[in-house]
A = this chain, B = another copy of it.
Amino acid sequence: MTTLGYAILGLLSREDLSGYDLTQRMKGPVGYFWSARHSQIYPELAKLEDGGYVTHRVIEQKERPDKKVYGITDEGLEALKIWVTQPPIPRPIRDELTLKTYSVWLADPEEATRLFREEELRHEEQLAHYGEIRAWMEREWREDLTSTDSPEFASYATLMRGISYEREYAEWCRWMADSIEGGKSLETT
């Protein structure tokens, strides 16, 4: 079973969805830290069905193409539950901006400053976007968030990782830009 398979099962454990719906959901909290295109989702659904983790029924629609709505099976839910608390195999992190940083000494300081200011802005914008979603969740899900066994808490916790990640990234970008602009590094440490 692939990680993408578990991502899909995680969505289907909350509600029945079509391949198209799943693709859309990838733009939400799940997709913040694991995403896929429809070209990967459709074959993966076929594999999941092969393995008995999901089943589908065809919904015939007038004025729209027919769709296949997938639901998780008992076996699927069981497999998902086991996977959740199993320690993940550490995978190498791939971050192109930080890799560029390793060769930043070769760059024109002004261009490098521009790069890190731009990236800082990108992450600040993402942070602001997440902040809005957080405010919405805290308003709409006030009670659900007091118990950690609700899907709402799980979505909230995933979002919190996103907020924390983006804040850290933006701060480091700012430190980088400031360091290069000032021409010094250790003074701001």
* A151 contacts across to B, CB distance below 8 A: 105
Contact A157 B101 (CB under 8 A): yes
A10: contacting residue among B6, B30, B80, B102, CB under 8 A = B102
How large, as a class, is the contact surface on chain A? 35 or more
A80-110 contact mask (Cβ, 8 Å, vs B): 1 or 0 = 1101111111111111111111111111110
In the complex, A154→B101 CA distance in Å?
6
- Could you list which residues of chain A lie within 8 angstroms of chain B, going by C-beta atoms? 3, 6-7, 9-10, 13, 29-35, 77, 80-81, 83-109, 111-112, 114-115, 118-119, 122, 138, 142, 145-151, 153-158, 160-161, 164-165, 167-168, 171-172, 175-176, 179-180, 183-186
